[in-house]
Amino acid sequence: MSESRDNFCSELKAKFPEVEKLANLEYQKQWADYDDEFYSYTWFEALANALNGEMQKLVKPEKYTELFEFIRFSYMTGTEDVKKTIDVAFVENLFWQIPPEKAKPYWEKLPDILKDLYIGFHQRRP
């Protein structure tokens, strides 16, 4: 467990309650059978998957620009645990199996530092 990551998770949930609901539903689908207690690291993977679902439904990315900015700021100012969580649990899972035409509007709204993390791992744009 990481106190800084857990605090980041709590802060994000408090600031973005609608996003919390989406991610919590995804978290339950993914992890209800495996985790007996909440784990903030995997919650960020669920958050990415929830946003992927929004992309599939063609929800306008402007709905999430403040969220992306909050995550960017948290990456820039956070501890190594927070940075690793954003990089590995969130960014690496974002755009998973999303067609390029659905990913493009979200990619355009994603802050550059998060784009750099994505490209650093996947070696390409979504």
pLDDT tens string 8-32: 999 999 999 999 999 999 999 887 7
Predicted TM-score (pTM) of the model is: 0.93
pLDDT digits (tens, 9 = 90+) for 42-85: 999 999 999 999 999 999 999 999 999 999 999 999 999 999 99
> What is the number of structural domains in the chain?
1
Q: What is the mean pLDDT of the chain?
A: 94
Residue 36 pLDDT > 60, yes or no?
no
Q: Is the pLDDT of residue 35 over 70?
A: no
1 pLDDT above the threshold of 80: no
> Which pLDDT does position 64 carry in this prediction?
98
Residue 76: closest CA among 118, 113, 119, 45: 113
Using alpha carbons, select from 62, 76, 52, 47 the residue that is nearest to residue 126.
52
Q: In Å, what is the CA distance from 82 to each residue of 4, 34, 71, 106? A: 7, 23, 10, 22
What pLDDT shows up at residue 2?
Answer: 82
Instruction: Please give the C-alpha separations between residue 92 and each of 4, 17, 27, 89, 117, in angstroms, as whole numbers.
Output: 20, 23, 16, 6, 8
The total number of residues written for the chain in this structure: 126
- Say how far apart CA 88 and CA 57 lie, in whole Å: 24
Confidence of residue 39 (pLDDT cuts 50, 70, 90): confident
Domain hosting residue 49, numbered range = 3-122
